[in-house]
Structure 1
Amino acid sequence: MVNPAKKKGTSLETWTVRYLAWALQDTRIDRMPLHGNADQGDLIGVRFCGEPVCVECKDTKQPNYRKHWRELLVEMANMDTPYGVLVQHRKGVGVKSLRGMASQMAILSVDVLERFLAVFSELSEENALFAVRLRRESKPVPNNPTLVWMPLERFALLLNCGLPLGLSE
């Protein structure tokens, strides 16, 4: 018998892979095998300006943002990367479509967001303006002043250096 909670988590991971692989047009993005105490997130192949990004996916009844963020920090250290994101299932928003995935929560600490935006802003003046918008649009995570969130679509745009997502027409 399959554990329903594990099944939900696997589904969120699988659809996060599908969404990011589509959005970034990168077939190297996949689910990460477990490494026990040396776990390095749930996905492999997500990159930002050549650096690996640790991605942790959570689909829990009651989000425990602080606990999940601490877990991500350990996994970022295991991966030896300054970049990480917690993808949290938004209650009432489906995950089994690209559209639903675009609206899921991409959670970052204010420090990690600023780390992303500093590098992103250096790429072009247009990116610097987009970074200001991303900073302004990011919303505080409930009951946690050090964490912010944005839709996964906005985070994917950041990873993609502001370029359009998905297949170009």
Structure 2
Amino acid sequence: MSGKQRKRSRRTAKDNGTRMESAVESYLQWALDDLRIQRLRLHGSKDIGDIGNVFFHGRPVCIEVKWTQTMNAPQHMREAIREAGNMDSPYPWVVQKKADVGLTSINKLGQQHAYTTPETLDAMLALSPPHIQAIIKPEPLGRKKTMRLITLQEFAMMLNDGLSLGPDRED
């Protein structure tokens, strides 16, 4: 493989990451009806996640976004936990591109993976309304089952405290 081909494939992976971050930003802006949610700039060794201005009961939520060939959930979760520490967030999350699910519609975006630690999910569910607690049925994730997997839509419903997703409509 020539240097030019390697550079092109690297740029493609980076472009995919940027597309995924932009899609998650747009989805959460829509779902939570909050245009203050935005992609973050890199902060070097003090990185604080990929999506900012997301809060749960007044506390910041650290969201790391991934589009990788393989779902290296343990590594991605460690990164999210480290970055949550950098921003003093008790809520580290990873949003991962789901294989064979596009980014072209609200419905498809809502199907993307969202995962965190059992402790984080339990803490957030404890603060969520009962109907959200009843809806969200996480799957164990990882070889040692040390993470909990839900959809981006379920994650947004929890962040939105059980209210309908999307802007309020006056018909």
| Unmatched segments (≥5 aa) in structure 1 | 121-126
How far off is 1:142 after superposition? 4.2
Give the TM-score, by structure 1 length: 0.91
In angstroms, what is the RMSD of aligned CA positions? Answer: 1.3
Output the CA distance in 2 between the equivalents of 1:85 and 1:158: 13
Counterpart residue type for residue 133 of structure 2: A
Q: Which residue of 2 aligns with 1:105?
A: 113
Cα deviation for residue 97 of structure 1 reads 2.3
Question: Could you say what secondary structure the match of 1:140 adopts?
Answer: strand
Which whole-Å CA distance do the structure 1 matches of 2:144 and 2:71 have between them?
12
Structure 1 consecutive aligned stretches of length 4 or more whose deviation exceeds 4 Å: none
Partner of 1:70: 78
Which of 118, 121, 128 matches 2:130? 128
1:57 aligns with 2:65: yes
Aligned pairs for 1:133-144 within 5 A:
133-134=135-136, 137-144=137-144
* Equivalences, count: 161
Q: What is the identity percentage for the equivalent residue pairs of Structure 1 and Structure 2?
A: 37
Query: 2-side partners of 1:160 and 1:52: how far apart?
Result: 14
Query: 1:148 maps to which residue?
Result: 148
CA distance in 1, matches of 2:13, 2:22: 14
Q: What is residue 17 of structure 1 aligned with on the other side?
A: 25
Could you tell me how far 1:146 is from its partner in structure 2?
1.1
Contact persistence 2:131–2:162 (CA under 8 A): no
Larger Rg: 2
**Cα displacement (A) at 1:34:** 0.4
> C-alpha offsets along residues 41-77 of structure 1, whole Å, 9 cap, x if unaligned?
0011111111110000000001100000000010000
**Residue of structure 1 equivalent to 2:3:** none
Structure-1 residue corresponding to 2:98: 90
Q: Secondary structure at the match of 2:28?
A: helix
- Alpha-carbon distance in structure 1 between the residues aligned to 2:104 and 2:64: 18
TM-score, length basis structure 2: 0.90
